[in-house]
């Protein structure tokens, strides 16, 4: 059973967490953009090295800088998914409370 204080607590958490969630979405977007930018810069830099166009992307993706950017994007995605899971749990808690109240009427 979910009591009203648990539902209120979940609603308060969702309200307080809105800004954090937006920041996590923004961080993921920035991290994903950084991966693309680093890949493009690495590929562009290979132009002067005589590396064939057909393998530049593979070389760029094997580069440590690309891998580090990919790791940052992965960490940002993990943080966002964790936050979304907590948001879902709070929403379910509120929904369960609403159902309980409705069933009592």
Instruction: Give per-residue pLDDT as tens, 1-30.
Output: 888 999 999 999 999 999 999 999 999 999
Tell me the C-alpha to C-alpha distance, in Å, between residue 17 and each of 1, 4, 35, 82, 95.
24, 20, 27, 12, 18
For residue range 86-97, list pLDDT tens digits in order. 999 999 999 999
pLDDT, averaged across the chain? 95
- pTM, whole model, 2 decimals? 0.85
In whole angstroms, give the CA distance from residue 76 to residue 27.
Answer: 6
């Amino acid at each position: 059973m979910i009591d009203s204080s648990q539902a209120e607590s979940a609603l308060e958490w969702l309200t307080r967490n809105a800004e954090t969630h937006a920041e996590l979405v923004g961080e993921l977007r920035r991290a994903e953009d950084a991966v693309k930018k680093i890949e493009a810069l690495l590929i562009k830099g290979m132009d002067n090295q005589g590396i064939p166009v057909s393998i530049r992307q593979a070389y760029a993706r094997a580069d440590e800088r690309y891998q580090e950017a990919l790791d940052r994007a992965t960490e940002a995605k993990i943080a966002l998914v964790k936050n979304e899971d907590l948001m879902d749990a709070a929403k379910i808690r509120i929904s369960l409370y609403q159902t309980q109240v409705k069933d009592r009427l």
